[in-house]
Amino acid sequence: MPIDWDKFDSDLSDIIDESAKKTDMQLASKISSVTRMTDEDVVELFPRPADAKKLAELMKIVHSADDRNNKVNKIVSNAEDFGGIVLTLLGKFV
């Protein structure tokens, strides 16, 4: 029986999309477990997993045992990465 490559590609794309959604929800759940945000808030504010990862990195810095100056320096040195995250959060909560 010949393989229907178009169907194969379509099915594969559907499987990839579904697994990405599951992964996104797992990531949102992990972040919401340490914040006041719900899973839905996280997914709404940070639909791209890369942005959710940046949020997690920012939270790690903020909640670290470092003194305030070290935290500020780390945030400033990553300002380009964190800028969009900060704008998103302030837009939601201010």
The pLDDT tens digits of the residues spanning 73-88 come to 999 999 999 999 999 9
For residue 42, the enclosing domain spans 5-93
Take residue 93 and report the two structure tokens written for it.
Answer: 């909560």
More confident residue, 58 or 13: 58
> Within the chain, where are the H helices?
5-32, 39-45, 49-62, 68-77, 79-93
Take residue 82 and report the two structure tokens written for it.
Answer: 């964190």
The pLDDT tens digits of the residues spanning 13-46 come to 777 677 777 778 888 888 889 888 898 898 899 8
Stretch 62-78: mean pLDDT: 93
Q: Which has the closest alpha carbon to 54: 19, 77, 21, 86?
A: 86
pTM recorded for the entire structure? 0.74
Tally the domains of the chain.
Answer: 1
